[in-house]
Amino acid sequence: MSLTIWSSAAEIRDAVAGGEVSCAEVARLSLDRVSARNPPLNALLRVTEARALARAAELDALCARGGALPPLAGVPLVVKDNLCTRGERTTCASRILEDYEPPYDATAVSRLEGAGALLLGKANLDEFGMGSTGENSAFGPTLNPWDPARVPGGSSSGAAAAVASGMVPCALGSDTGGSVRQPAAFCGLYGLRPTYGRVSRYGLVAFASSLDQVGPLARTARDAFLAFAAISGPDPADSTSLPDPPEPLEPPAPRLEGLRVGLLADQLGADVDPEVRALVAGAAERLRAGGAEVREAALPHAGYGVATYYVLAPAECSSNLARFDGVRYGLREPREELLEQYEASRGAGFGDEVKRRVLAGTFVLSAGYRGAFYERARRARAAIAADFARAFAEVDLLLGPTTPGPAFPLGREGGDPLSLYLCDVFTIPPALAGLPALSVPCGFTAAGLPVGAQLVGRRLEERTLFRAAGFLEEALGLAGRHPS
């Protein structure tokens, strides 16, 4: 068998379709890698071996009968543990859902399995998707495969670490304010936040419903595109999913002719790590050399993004998480009085970051403060969306850093959550505007840490993002580099 743990989803699919390898063999290769690498990294909360092997056996039987294989046949993957999996625990890395087994699959999960993927496990995360380090998991932090003293980013921490360490070629995460793109940048991966509504959220445990999107992380641009295409399209079970038909599986050619790229120069200022600045500027130069027209662009209100997000996301979180009350599912702390039981169950079941956001959200929606906080934030969101609309009248893509710096050491928060919120400064604005955004590897620091550049596109123009990403992937030649 010529496949290795670093083979791409596209290579695995071709090898399976060509009869070179069985789905069961591919599953075994991945499961062995999980056994070796998961104990130190804590990327996966659970391994769903029986489910993966059962799907592999079905596909191998189909192949033996000469049947046509689905497009991702035999591709192993993992999904963030806030995506529901029927009969497999789905914890959101929270004590309050520690034993929860959903009675249904998320649409994104069932679409991937329908396309032939093998679900190998459920990935660690910051509790309910709230955090940017992976440290807010009730089941322990995930480590960065490039440097285990550092965070992998979050909140899709385990998904990123599993892909970067060669357990699987791609994974599904969710992105509310950067939770796919930031860990992708910290782990040297492609991470897509699709257009709001492009992928069904049915079965994604809700955090902030005006922002949440499901998106893929992968080691190659093509794999990220394939996974995105497989999960895209309308879903009658999610009334916020867009009616546009699914994305065709064939990726766009990596050609830049006629492409106008706006470099967000004010995102390359003194607050950004000099190595990150240089690598993103280098990516812009590559695009220019490859035939794109690169000019400067600006988003004058983007600096209000973090403040806007940390009003709106907690507000929605306080409402969405009201359902966890120890009645229908999840942890219950029995009390004589119902109200006391709610308070005690939630107090015992939620971690610090979730409590902070539930309280902040309750505050900004409370009588007397709603106008000062929530309504102001809604206006700021509209101003940021208008900035993007103006920029996209001039250019087809925006380019900047995904994060102000590379992955930082574990334990940085030190009781100051606000300082971590500020790390989301570049990933939040496209999320507020509902636009597709892709983090693309653009190089390594001198210390060997990966750095990501963020491409932002117009609504529903994911293909344009992948044109540029495919070009940069070839031009920068980073594909062969893996964590030791």
Partner 1 sequence: MDEPVLSVAGFAALQRLARLRLSAEEAARLRPQLEAILGYVRRLEALDAESAEAGEEAAAPLRPDEPRPGLSPGEALAAAPDASEGFFRVPRVLKGPGA
| Residue whose CB is less far from partner 1, 170 or 321 | 321
Stretch that binds partner 1, among 33-41, 245-253, 264-272, 325-333 (CB under 8 A): 325-333
Residue 221's φ and ψ, nearest 5 degrees, are -65, -40
Report how far residue 149's alpha carbon sits from residue 240's, in angstroms, rounded to the nearest whole number: 40
Q: Which residue lies nearer to partner 1 by CB, 102 or 436?
A: 102
Q: How far apart are the first and last CA of the chain?
A: 22
Nearer residue to partner 1 within complex by CB, 80 or 346: 346
Interaction between residue 418 and partner 1 (CB under 8 A): yes
Q: Does 363 interact with partner 1 (rule: CB under 8 A)?
A: yes
Active site residue 80: yes
Nearer to partner 1, 228 or 324 (CB): 324
CB 8 to partner 1: min, Å? 37
- Catalytic site residue 209? no
Phi, psi of 427 (to 5 degrees): -85, -25
Considering the complex, what minimum distance in angstroms separates the CB of residue 48 from partner 1? Answer: 18
CB nearer to partner 1: give 257 or 336.
336
63 binds partner 1 (CB under 8 A): no
Q: Which is nearer to partner 1, 228 or 304 (CB)?
A: 304
- 28, 95, 356, 463: which one binds partner 1 (CB under 8 A): 356
> Contact between 325 and partner 1 (CB under 8 A)?
yes
Return the residue of 39, 236, 245, 258 that touches partner 1, per CB under 8 A.
Answer: 236
Give just the sign of the alpha carbon dihedral 359, 365, 370, 374: positive
Is 329 an interacting residue with respect to partner 1 (CB under 8 A)?
yes
Given 22, 155, 156, 241, the catalytic residue: 155
Per CB under 8 A, 350 contacts partner 1? yes
Using rule CB under 8 A, residue 28 touches partner 1: no
* 425 is a contact residue toward partner 1 (CB under 8 A): no
1 or 237: CB nearest partner 1: 237
Q: Which is nearer to partner 1, 228 or 350 (CB)?
A: 350
H helices within 365-401, ranges in order? Answer: 376-391
Supply the DSSP symbol for 323: G
Q: b/e per residue, 290-328, with b = 16+ CB within 10 A? A: bebebeebbbebbebbbebbbbbbbbbbbbbbeebbbee
| Helix (H), strand (E) at residue 469 | helix 462-476
Residue of 7, 30, 80, 156 marked catalytic: 80
CB of 307 to partner 1, least distance (A): 4
Of residues 269 through 308, those in contact with partner 1 by CB under 8 A are: 301, 304, 306-308
CA distance 117 to 468: 27
3-state secondary structure of 193: strand
CB of 107 to partner 1, least distance (A): 15
Among 53, 54, 344, 476, which residue sits at the site for partner 1 (rule: CB under 8 A)? 344
Catalytic-labelled residue, pool 30, 179, 241, 345: 179
Q: How far is the CB of 86 from partner 1 (least distance, A)?
A: 10
Task: Tell me the three state secondary structure of residue 445.
Answer: coil
- SS3 state at 149: coil
Angle at 476 between CA 471 and CA 478, to 5 degrees: 115
Beta strands in 28-99 (DSSP E): 44-47, 76-80
Q: Does 253 bind partner 1 (CB under 8 A)?
A: no
Mark 246-279 as b/e (b = at least 16 C-beta within 10 Å). Answer: ebeeebbebebeebebbbbeebbeeebbebbbbb
The smaller minimum CB distance to partner 1, of residues 4 and 240, is found at: 240
CA distances from 98 to 89, 90, 332 (A): 8, 8, 11
- In the complex, least distance from residue 84 CB atom to partner 1, rounded to whole angstroms: 11
Q: Which of 421, 459, 475, 478 binds partner 1 (CB under 8 A)?
A: 421
**Which SS3 state, helix, strand or coil, does residue 457 take?**
strand
Decide if 122 is catalytic. no
Query: How many residues sit in the footprint of partner 1 (CB under 8 A)?
Result: 67
**C-alpha distances in Å from residue 25, one per residue of 47, 60, 168:** 17, 10, 14
Burial class (CB within 10 angstroms; exposed 0-12, middle 13-18, buried 19+) of 393: exposed
Q: Which of 187, 186, 148, 182 shows the shortest CA–CA distance to 166?
A: 187
To 10 degrees, what angle do helices 305-320 and 376-391 make?
Answer: 120
- Of 260, 376, 459, 482, the one binding partner 1 (CB under 8 A) is 376
Of 140, 274, 347, 448, the residue at the interface with partner 1 (CB under 8 A) is 347
Q: How far is the CB of 102 from partner 1 (least distance, A)?
A: 8
342 binds partner 1 (CB under 8 A): yes
Sign of the torsion formed by the C-alpha atoms of 5, 9, 10 and 12: positive
Answer yes or no: are the C-beta atoms of 132 and 420 closer than 8 Å. yes
Catalytic residues: 80, 155, 179
**Under the rule (CB under 8 A), what is the footprint of partner 1?**
100-104, 236, 239-240, 301, 304, 306-308, 310-311, 318, 322, 325-332, 334-344, 346-347, 350, 352, 355-356, 358-360, 362-364, 366, 369, 372-373, 375-383, 386, 415-418, 421
